[in-house]
Structure 1
């Protein structure tokens, strides 16, 4: 009788195999509603989280509701704004300099200031030597010096160097070029420009087609005399002819035209005051 009772109890056990397709159906319905929900949203983070959850659901991984505490559904900091660069990546703010980097930058700025002050001293000293030469030789009506933020400029009237319409340096003017070259040689390291200028009266000589040609040849000939001094570096020199196109006075009077006919020797600064201002 005991055996009969055990057999009867086994036959009354309910078949639960129907739960498997039922669970699959519920899973598909859940996936359908999740997809419908995701398709109505524009947040890329939410969409990616849902897709990860679906993938996990079908691979027996972590589900959407289990990982909802890891991937937030809303922006945790809505006030923050991303600074995207041209490549779409977020740009980090400028990294503060380390104490060592700050020290190196300060040393560079100090060295720049020292170099600027030394250059300023040299050009002021050279200007004083030129002014003394002009005064001692009674050349104040023919030569003039001017120190600017860009250069030390020496202006020489054309009648002190050339005969009218000529580009040949006068023999008596060559002494001036020699003295000037000796002073320039004491201050190497500067680029030097020799520029020729004329008035607007058309040239009537066959060897010069225009005032431009005349101004350029005059600058070249004066530079050649300067470079007879072997202490000067030819690679530091250049010439240019401006012709009549950069006047400093009117061309309507003889006095104005005389000022426009000139040769300018410019000692170009290596450092400008604007560069020095970085360390002020």
Structure 2
């Protein structure tokens, strides 16, 4: 009888493997729940699931516990991008406002110059042109110099002083004084080329402009272009007369695209 009982006990199936198998299924289920939650947009639900798993599996501390969810990280990145875009938009707005102020300033200065030209009947000698980059004052060389000379006429010095007086109200702008000639060669005791003549003329005119206590010389420069930037043909007397000139360019600091303009 004892032998029969022993044989019956030995034939009983061992079911201890079910415990680790059940644990494995539980872990797999938890993994799939986490993957599913990570694919959802609702970060609150994700956090609730994570807290529930931490509490159920290990009392709140295990490999599933993280300091922040991937969705929170993405939201933080998006916020940083939004802040950068906001700063860029603010900077663009400020540049646009400054551009508008400069345009109004140069229009005002142009009106003053046009009034001076009209009052003194200088329309054949001076003209102004406002562009997106600058306000250009063009002065014919016969209004300033004798042929082949860089010395400014005494009467023309008053013209330069009057222009300086108007420019003194716009101290923050950079100003370029440029000299130009026609293509007829020059070679005398003082000047060996049109480069030399144009450079000296622009320098002499600039010296009169900056001889004003209200003007900051650091914003001014002179340059000679010689014969290489004509505005008309050099084949006629009239065309050569137009090419011989001095230009006073009041440079805008901010162009319409927001690009800064600078004179070294």
**Alignment TM class, shorter chain as reference:** 0.5 to 0.7
Q: Please report the TM-score for the alignment, with normalisation by the length of structure 2.
A: 0.66
Retained in 1: the 8 A contact 2:96–2:256? no
Alignment-derived partner of residue 154 in structure 2: 171
Distance 1:97 1:162, change over 3 A: farther
What is the Cα deviation at residue 267 of structure 1?
0.5
2:96 is the counterpart of 1:113: yes
Question: Shift of residue 113 of structure 1?
Answer: 1.9
Match of 2:175 in 1: 192
Matched, 1:232 2:215: yes
Give 1 or 2 for the bigger CA radius of gyration: 1
The aligned length equals 184
Give the match for residue 126 of structure 1.
109
Partner secondary structure for residue 128 of structure 2: strand
Runs of 4+ in structure 1 displaced over 3 angstroms? 95-106
| CA–CA distance in structure 1, aligned partners of residues 157 and 210 of structure 2 | 12
The 3 A distance-change label for structure 1 pair 204 and 109 is: closer
CA distance in 2, matches of 1:180, 1:156: 11
> 2: distance between equivalents of 1:183 and 1:256?
30
User: Which of these residues, 125, 131, 153, is aligned with residue 148 of structure 1?
Assistant: 131
Normalized per residue, which structure has more helix?
A: 2
In the other structure, the counterpart of 2:14 is none
Task: Map Cα deviations across residues 114-157 of structure 1 (whole Å, 9 max, x no partner).
Answer: 21111110011101111111111100000010111111110000
Moved more, 196-205 or 215-224: 196-205
| TM-score, reference length from structure 1 | 0.63
**1:77-108 Cα distance to aligned partner (Å, 9 max, x none):** xxxxxxxxxxxxxxx9xx54545444433332
1:97 and 1:177, CA in 2 relative to 1: closer, same or farther beyond 3 A? farther
CA RMSD of aligned residues (A): 1.8
The residue number in structure 1 matching 2:229 is 246
